[in-house]
């Protein structure tokens, strides 16, 4: 189980890199890239899978309150990324707040994951 958990964790980090990386790359002209939407979905799917596996791991003491907050923020990132990518697909302008909401909330979620013990 720990190997599967580590593979999921790797993919989870890749999803975060997709969101934050594209956000940083477009800081001067903020927009939402379709790969940010894909990264948000990768994060949600792998995060849910890791939450399911976590109780089966030896010496695991999951903080479900923290995981619930991370899930809620991840869901918000995914919703914002879907809205932004639909606007891009239609050729409509993406507001700066929406673009920074996707990247900023994802970065905040990473901070929660790494700082909150």
List pLDDT tens digits, range 64-114: 999 999 999 999 999 999 999 999 999 999 999 999 999 999 999 999 999
Q: How far apart are CA 34 and CA 51, in angstroms?
A: 26
φ/ψ of 63, rounded to 5, equals: -95, 95
Asked which of 10-14, 20-24, 36-40, 60-64 is least confident by mean pLDDT, the reply is 60-64
Q: What is the pLDDT of residues 25-41, one digit of tens each?
A: 999 999 999 999 999 99
What DSSP assignment string belongs to 44-72? HHHHHHHHHHGGGSTT----HHHHHHHHH
pLDDT of residue 54 exceeding 90: yes
pTM of the entire predicted model: 0.93
């Amino acid at each position: 189980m720990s190997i599967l958990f580590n593979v999921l964790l790797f993919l989870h980090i890749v999803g975060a890199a997709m969101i934050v990386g594209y956000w940083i790359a477009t800081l001067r002209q903020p927009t939402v890239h379709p790969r940010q939407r894909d990264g948000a979905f990768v994060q949600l799917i792998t995060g849910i899978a890791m939450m399911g596996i976590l109780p089966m791991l030896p010496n695991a003491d999951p903080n479900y309150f923290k995981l619930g907050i991370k899930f809620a923020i991840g869901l918000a990132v995914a919703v914002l990324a879907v809205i932004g990518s639909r606007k891009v697909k239609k050729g409509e302008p993406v507001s700066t707040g929406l673009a920074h909401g996707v990247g900023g909330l994802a970065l905040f979620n990473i901070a929660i994951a790494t700082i909150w013990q």
